[in-house]
Amino acid sequence: AALALLGGSVAALGLWKWLGKKRIQKKMEDARRTREEGMKKMAKAVQQFREQVPSVQRDAILSLPLLELTGRLQEGSLSPRTVLYTYLEKALEVTQQTNCLTHFIPECEEQLQEIERRKEKGLLYGIPVSIKDHIGHKGHLATCGLMQCLDTVMEEDSVLVKVLKKQGAIPFAMTNVPQSLFSYECSNPIFGQTLNPLDTKRSPGGSAGGEGALIAGGGSILGIGSDIGGSIRLPSSFCGLCGLKPTAERLRGVGWGLAHPSAHCGCLLLSHAVHCALGPMARDVDSLALCMKALLCQEMFQLDPSVPPIPFNEEIYSSSTPLRVGYYDTDGYFPLPPCMRRAVKETRSALQAAGHQLVPFSPPRIPYVMNELFMKTFFADGGRAFLDVFTGNIVDPGLKPQVNSCKMPRLVKKLLALLLKPLQFLLLLQLKDVAMISTCRSVQEMWDHHHQIQVYRSQFISQWQELQLDVMLCPVLGPAFTTGYPRKLLGAISSTMLYNVLNFPAGIVPVSTVTQEDEEELKLYKGCCDDPWDRTLKQAVSGAVGMPVAVQCVALPWQEELCLRFMKEVETLS
């Protein structure tokens, strides 16, 4: 009888698990079906528009820079309707090639009618804008690639979306992200893998990879992403775009977060120590500046009183005063491919020739920043909150190494860390198996950890001020990795992670492309010590001739206008 009871219990448990999996599968299928229906609806609307207005010069509209497009819309020589349907059509083409959209926003047609009735035209009047999946839009999911978020529809627009609409912009599409946002692979079990439109064998980066792919493919002229470790900057580097991560609080908005409360910890967006920043992505620096100018308005400051009421300073952005520029081409932690270091050296020479003063800089203690300050912030609890998000979820292959290592018993983690300590490449291994990072075992330890971050920021700023720097020129990870490699090289993103810990504004500007000479030099690349991770990086970026090569431009906190002004200078010189 006991055996029969046990057998029955095992069978019931098996049935319960099977039913749970079936429920998850159905939710995912429903989400994909909703996406397909939305795309069909948009394709039909585009077709109707084409029949009504057959003479639209599509390529001419798509080739206009944002500033010129806004000018044409403001003067009335182009209509918002024509521009919207032109970009909708192109976005449909790009997502078929790259799988970059989670869904279209059908309400864009209502927003179009609304702005056509207005007497006052905002700074982004008639501009179609794409937004990253988790930035809330009323009536839509914000999934982060997680199953539990498929039940919750956003009840209202996020502050950022409200301000975009107030300025006359038309949010028209939401773009794909990696599951939980803690990856730069841009893949999730619900909507699948996003590809790079410049080379579909390569990743667009992440976590704003869908934005990167859509804009680089020509399907959007302006996008909004978020960045907590490089999520705006890595896709900008991989896809040849300009992107800005502002000081986190400059664009923070109440209600911009996630559709499901349990996703907050898992998506690693809310931390008292390392903040997530919202920011723009576009084809050129002027577009980023216009977007910041539009967002930093009275509407933003009223809707979210936690945002400091500091309007965009046009005078600083337009200044031509020579700058004192700090520079480095390696952070001494994860050596980047030769082409990325070449980009810094060539940009440094161009800036010097243009009359700017260049000063060598050495970023202090990057291994400490990566292993102690950054990773410990997110895995202070040993990864429990991270694992909670995956309860009942299908885990994307790109996240399985992190999830599995978090599941290890604490004693096993300690033993592994002890055994591996003598090895030279431990630091990199720790970042591959994130659960081996030391945890905060008490509230006191957590406060001490936060204090250590503040001390590091102070020390970094002191070093900056001693050299009397205005801005910093430094490398960014690139060129675009072959698909499947980002999951193997979490530690490679030290170049971007640093400025999340510091909470400095940082932007990406493409300055070159990979040459055959770069490819030859890559064959000689040894990295740190020619270890498995160095060899993996070599494999990830090989065969990238013609792909974009970018640099990173940085300023002190709250100096977004100066950062953009420096980015513009770099863009002009390149």
Question: Counting Cβ atoms within 10 Å, is residue 332 exposed (0-12), middle (13-18) or buried (19+)?
Answer: middle
pLDDT score for 124? 98
Alpha helices in 99-208 (DSSP H): 108-117, 159-166
Q: d(Cα 87, Cα 478) in Å, to the nearest integer?
A: 28
For residues 263-302, one letter each, b for 16 or more C-beta atoms within 10 angstroms of the residue's C-beta and e for the rest, the string is bbbbbbbebebbbbbbbbbbbbbbbbbbbbbbbbbebbbe
User: Would you list which residues are annotated within the binding site for substrate?
Assistant: 181, 207, 228-231
Question: Counting Cβ atoms within 10 Å, is residue 137 exposed (0-12), middle (13-18) or buried (19+)?
Answer: buried
Q: Give CATH for domain 318-380+442-573.
A: 3.90.1300.10
List, in order, residues 6 or more apart from 66 with CB less than 8 Å away: 127, 221, 222, 282, 283, 284, 286, 287, 290
pLDDT score for 402? 80
Domain borders along the chain are 23-304, 318-380+442-573, 382-439
Q: Which of 231, 287, 438, 494 is catalytic?
A: 231
What sign does the CA torsion over 382, 496, 253, 165 have?
A: negative
Reported as a single tens digit per residue, the pLDDT across 103-115 is 999 999 999 999 9
Q: d(Cα 219, Cα 213) in Å, to the nearest integer?
A: 9
Q: Which of 130, 180, 207, 237 is catalytic?
A: 207
List, in order, residues 6 or more apart from 538 with CB less than 8 Å away: 337, 522, 525, 527
Tell me the whole-structure pTM to 2 decimals: 0.94
Reference 560, options 308, 364, 324; nearest CA is 308
Alpha helices in 53-174 (DSSP H): 58-62, 66-75, 80-98, 108-117, 159-166
User: Would you list which residues are annotated within the binding site?
Assistant: 181, 207, 228-231
List, in order, residues 6 or more apart from 531 with CB less than 8 Å away: 424, 425, 428
Q: d(Cα 490, Cα 183) in Å, to the nearest integer?
A: 8
Q: Name the fold adopted by 23-304.
A: Amidase signature (AS) enzymes (3.90.1300)
Question: For this structure, is 207 an active site residue?
Answer: yes
Do the domains 23-304 and 318-380+442-573 sit in the same CATH topology, yes or no?
A: yes
| Cβ count within 10 A of residue 113 | 10
Phi first, then psi, for residue 141 (nearest 5°) are -75, 155
The token duo for 536 is: 């993996």
Question: For this structure, is 231 an active site residue?
Answer: yes
Q: d(Cα 257, Cα 494) in Å, to the nearest integer?
A: 25
Per-residue pLDDT of the chain (574 residues; tens, 9 = 90+): 666 676 666 777 677 777 778 888 999 999 999 999 999 999 999 999 999 999 999 999 999 999 999 999 999 999 999 999 999 999 999 999 999 999 999 999 999 999 999 999 999 999 999 999 999 999 999 999 998 888 889 999 999 999 999 999 999 999 999 999 989 999 999 999 999 999 999 999 999 999 999 999 999 999 999 999 999 999 999 999 999 999 999 997 544 344 344 444 344 434 567 889 999 999 999 999 999 999 999 999 999 999 999 999 999 999 999 999 999 999 989 899 999 999 999 999 999 999 999 999 999 999 999 988 888 777 777 777 888 888 777 899 888 878 887 777 777 766 766 666 555 444 444 444 444 456 777 888 888 888 999 999 999 999 999 999 999 999 999 999 999 999 999 889 999 999 999 999 999 999 999 999 999 999 999 887 778 889 999 999 999 999 999 999 999 999 999 999 999 999 999 9
DSSP state letter for 184:
S
Q: How far is CA 115 from the centre of its chain?
A: 29
Secondary structure (DSSP) of 230-293: STTHHHHHHHT-EEEE--GGGS--TT-S-SSTTHHHHTT---SSS--EEEEEESSHHHHHHHHH
Q: How far apart are the first and last CA of the chain?
A: 80
Q: Which of 132, 162, 166, 413 is catalytic?
A: 132
Question: For this structure, is 132 an active site residue?
Answer: yes
Reported as a single tens digit per residue, the pLDDT across 456-470 is 999 999 999 999 999
Q: d(Cα 73, Cα 79) in Å, to the nearest integer?
A: 6
The token duo for 208 is: 């704003």
